[in-house]
Structure 1
Amino acid sequence: MGKVLIPVRDAVGYSEETEHVRIEQVPLSHLSIEVGHFYLNEITNDMDQVVKEFRRIVPLVDAFIASARVEFGPQARISTCYLIDDYFQPDTDPREILGKLLTAADETGLRIDYLAREAGCWQATPFADGVPVGEPIELAEMVAARLVAEPAPPATGRRPPTVESGWLCNGRRSSDFDAAQAMRVPQYRPPEEFGRREHSIFLDVQLWSKHTENINGDSVIRTKWSCPFLASVWHLLRLGMLRYEGAAVVDPQPWSPGEVWPRQWRQVPAVVRLNPDAAPFAAYRTLSMLPKRYLGIEHSVRLILDHIDLDDDVVGQIIARGAADEVPVTVPRKVTERLSHLLLDGS
């Protein structure tokens, strides 16, 4: 994170701090549990399946809460969350979707402390007292700027770098061998995983795509972020790892029971606190309880997170806070070691 000028209040007045950005501390739970996931059309058209899935998730959540209390003590801070995938279906009606989803949670006894929007992992608009204030923070762009791809040695230049191509892999692509044999028919060579043992498990992930839109007669290039990339931002939010000019990028906004949801998703805060007594949204560790169909996405998430150059000050701050907690928590420096998953059968 670069150096910026920020006001620093002291006993006399204000001074300018140019050497270091003050890193805001975000409240932290011990564990954040993501309680399932559905496509929006499933919520709209198959509520019986949603209710059935929530019913079987409830005892699983209880079991993980009990396990966390064994590890972190009876006062362990544990919060639950649910992510709405509005980014790819922005024209749906929040009132219908959220009404059905939260009714199903109430009927089954599933506690959802925080509701988050996938589009909020792309752009997070600051809110104050339930009202949007200021310009959106480009979270996806901010995280993309911290990507550090592994160049295949020796680099041939045949394939554009990640920042241009929007693709990230964990090794050398088969096409990377072709450039040295440009004057003859190349012999096929398979891709290779960096750091492999006996055999490769090669993964090549698309992070975004570009398309052109005509706006008032002008051609504008737009970025469409992939599901794995937005999921990576989601995990970083849940782990409390993102700051903008030192400040937290999201502040969960309270939502009262019976309050009417807006007609458009962009009018819903990036993260909403449904339970006024909830433990903090961000946590030292996360658990995601997801259908098996998300295995590929979560594999991609781990690759992406392993290639993001996180802010050392934020990492160090959270490690220190874990060590100083009432029940000390060992926080790994590698962010993917703070993630865990439970993949649900039958989905």
Structure 2
Amino acid sequence: MTGAVFRETTAESRTRSVPLAHLSLELGHLYMEDFEAGPERLREHFAEVAAWVPAARASAARRSRRPRISTCFLVDDYFSRFSTPAELLPLVLKEAERAGLTVDYLARESGCATAGRVEPAESVRQRLVEAPPVGSYGSRPPVSQTGWLANGQRSPVARNAMSEVTGWQPPQETAARMHSVFMDVELWSEQGPDGGRLWSCPFLAAVWQLARLGLLRHLGEPVLVPQPWDKDQFPDSWDQLPPLLQLEGAAEPFSAYRTCTLMPNRFLAVEDAVRLVLDQTAVDPEALAQVAERSAREGVPVPAAVAQRATYVFYEEPAPAFPPERG
């Protein structure tokens, strides 16, 4: 006879875990002006990316003899929309295949803002925790009011006509090493559809990184869960596509212990801002614990700082260069 086992409901984990690869390798994070440039631009992009993929795979193999690696590609359908999925996505996959690359997962950037009934960007916004600089006196409104996030203290200014006039003082990075590298990042503006928020490119990219790292949750549930999709059947409307498609049935898990992003060097400033956001986001502690426990068990422990789990390869673009992102 087997005795019954009773557990407190609150003792059960409320944060659901996700499958994890060792590395999430992003093969592209392009904008509509790239697609407007035609197949030649995509061909050049994937040819350059293909040159760096073996190095990224070799780096993963240094940590695990049999690394699980999945690939992904992000399409901007948030700031602008060009063509249709039926016309554009087969071209993307064709040019990737021409370069010897396979896209396991394809994502829509708008899914980082809204994914069904969940708003991933808003969930991350609520987890922002500003790091106040030493000696700050609270003159700057919080990020929840301004939509701006900094890694230190701006140059102080006189607050009214009666304030004491002082000489110029430089901004200060909170964790500076000898010299400061001060950043102030706009996360959103009040210019979105119907007067709502328009999320910035760096903020949506930070949401995307959290998803790829297996750390994005809403009420304990994973966000941006891959949906199986026939890569020969794309609709005419972007809104008919799930936020994240799994194109290869035998692909390794979408999320991973680490990420590597291969992209043009014009995105360098954007990704610096992404790391700032990650450094000031209070990630679900149980999701963090799940990843730490599983990676340690596999003998591939991850850095404690989430931002340090993301790596990049920035390649030089051929002329003419495209304008910077419009987020």
TM-score for the superposition, normalised by structure 2 = 0.89
In terms of mean alpha carbon deviation, does 153-162 or 53-62 score higher? Answer: 153-162
Cα deviation code 1:33-52 (max 9, x no counterpart): 11133222322332112112
Cα deviation code 1:213-263 (max 9, x no counterpart): 6xxxxxx6400000000000000000000122222112211112321x122
What code does the residue aligned with 2:154 have? R
Matched residue, 2:311: 340
Q: Which has the higher strand share?
A: 1
**Cα distance in 2 for residues equivalent to 1:33 and 1:193:** 31
Matched residue, 2:176: 196
Matches within 5 A, 1:150-299: 150-174=131-155, 176-179=156-159, 182-211=162-191, 221-259=195-233, 261-299=234-272
Note if 1:100 corresponds to 2:81: no
Matches within 5 A, 1:20-99: 21-73=13-65, 75-90=66-81, 92-99=83-90
Cα deviation code 1:67-111 (max 9, x no counterpart): 3234311x3200111111111014642222212211211222211
Match 1:120 to one of 107, 111, 132: 111
**Cα distance in 1 for residues equivalent to 2:174 and 2:154:** 11
What code does the residue aligned with 1:173 have? R
Note if 1:301 corresponds to 2:274: yes
Matched residue, 1:131: none
**Cα distance in 2 for residues equivalent to 1:84 and 1:212:** 19
What is the aligned-residue identity percentage?
41
Count matched residues: 316
Could you say if the C-alpha distance between residues 13 and 251 of structure 1 is closer, same or farther in structure 2, counting changes exceeding 3 Å?
A: farther
For the 8 Å contact 2:23–2:260, the answer to whether it is kept is yes
**Cα distance in 2 for residues equivalent to 1:200 and 1:70:** 34
**Cα distance in 1 for residues equivalent to 2:224 and 2:41:** 32
**Cα distance in 2 for residues equivalent to 1:199 and 1:238:** 32
Q: CA RMSD in A?
A: 2.4
What code does the residue aligned with 1:67 have? S
Matched residue, 2:294: 321
Could you say if the C-alpha distance between residues 282 and 157 of structure 1 is closer, same or farther in structure 2, counting changes exceeding 3 Å?
A: same
Structure 2 regions of 5+ residues with no counterpart? Answer: 319-327
For the 8 Å contact 1:44–1:100, the answer to whether it is kept is no
Cα deviation code 1:322-346 (max 9, x no counterpart): 1122xx1112221011111111112
